[in-house]
Amino acid sequence: MVAKLRIGLAGLGTVGTGVLDLLARNGNEIEARTGKKLEVVAVTARSNSRVRGAHDLSGLVWAENPQALAVHPDVDVLVELIGGEGDPAYSAVKAALAAGKSVVTANKALLAHHGGELARLADANHAGLYFEAAVAGGIPVVKTLREGLAGNQVSRVSGILNGTCNYILTKMADEGRSFDDVLVEAQKLGYAEADPTFDVGGFDAAHKLAVLTALAFGTEPDLKSIEIEGISHVTLEDIRNADAMGYKIKLLGVCADTGDGIEQRVHPMLVRKGSPIGEVDGVFNAAAIHGDFVGDLMLVGRGAGAHPTASAVLSDLCDIARGNRVPAFGVPGAKLKPFRAAPAQTHAGGYYVALDLHDRPGAVAAIAQRLAERNISIESIVQRAPQTAAETAPFILTTHDTQESDMRAALSQIEKDGYAARPPRMIRMERL
């Protein structure tokens, strides 16, 4: 008789149903590859409906709550697809690990807030904590960092980590539509929530970046150290200006070892058209990794959705079935280093700046002077004729690499000088 891996499934939403779909379609192939039959034996969900799509679940154990499911004697492994940094997901995962049961989770918020604690709990009880599905959907970025690049010193990870933002920015660029207009469409299509703040504010990408940083550098996840900026302030004019200069605007998450600490940031950036990451459009995600021996790697794929995310969940379940247990973040939990942040605003790079200047003599010279005072070198300038109604002239410039602290100080002084009708808009440029 073939041995079984008995799965307790907490959460029967989009991804949970996707897991059932995958097991129903590919269960025989998975059994052949792992030597075990992967079988969902118990579930829990908000709704007690015994039917999910084409799946009749009436013959399964229905646990009263996720924590009860986690310690159920018939369950070998808990698959947590509830979401959220706190309970019930947090208590259920802790209960399973404390009982020596491995956990597979897609919960990036839980890991960003409690990843170190849970990794140590897993180690102490000889259990595994797996989370391929928590970052970038079906893209195997977790295994790549944790296992595929175990022989490398990783110095930098950057990527498009939120499909909603990438979809909105792509549509704005391709169809010449405003942020608000495309956001409404994204909500109708199910790409954005009714309250889209978590996505468009950059917070979803930040949770994922915290996990990637811990994997890349062997540190405790540290969400609070991430500089976060969303895309709601990006205008159609900014996107058109970027296009005219040969760039696209993308929301990127970046973590890098600066030698003086680790830099973590999420914000819109100008990337060159034709660059690998610049050509990742729509709802797709991407992760670019630099290792000292492997060089540059680029992973691209669907970052969300029932089946891509279910594929990542099953990848982890197959590892458990094969007996492949590795430390959650690549090193034992007890050896995760305290996170040490790079000094604030030490980022060096190029910048795009958009100004609406009053049509007055000396405005451009005054701006050039303020930049020169901070040793900021201008790379390119685009100046347009005044808009008749507003009597302002769009003035766009890009800079060579400079310190962010100098750039912000110069823009602050430019705003005080009174030549600009509105505060300057600044977007970083990424040399990818």
Active site residues: 208
- Evaluated on CA atoms 352, 354, 355, 361, the torsion sign reads positive
Query: What distance in Å separates the CA atoms of residue 166 and residue 170, rounded to the nearest whole number?
Result: 6
Helices 163-175 and 236-244, interaxial angle, to 10°? 70
Query: What distance in Å separates the CA atoms of residue 192 and residue 424, rounded to the nearest whole number?
Result: 29
* Tokens at 90, concatenated: 């947090």
Instruction: For the chain, give the number of residues.
Output: 432
- Among residues 161, 373, 128, the alpha carbon closest in space to that of 250 is found at 161
60-82 burial: b if 16+ Cβ within 10 Å, else e: bbebeebbbbbbbeebbbbbbbb
Please name the residue that has the structure tokens 């084409």: 54
Cβ–Cβ < 8 Å for 219, 229:
no
| Torsion angle of the four alpha carbons 229, 235, 240, 243, in this order, in degrees rounded to the nearest 10 | 10
- Among residues 65, 80, 72, the alpha carbon closest in space to that of 118 is found at 80
Please name the residue that has the structure tokens 């005072």: 373
Helix, strand or coil, per DSSP, at residue 298? strand
Long-range contacts (CB closer than 8 Å, 24 or more residues apart) made by 272-276: 272/246, 272/247, 272/248, 272/432, 273/243, 273/246, 273/247, 273/248, 275/432, 276/300, 276/432
The single-letter DSSP state of residue 339 is: P
Helix, strand or coil, per DSSP, at residue 418? coil
Q: State residue 187 phi and psi, 5-degree precision.
A: -70, -40
3-state secondary structure 177-234: CCHHHHHHHHHHCCCCCCCCHHHHCCHHHHHHHHHHHHHHHCECCCHHHCEECCCCCC
Give residue 55's Cα distance to chain centre: 31
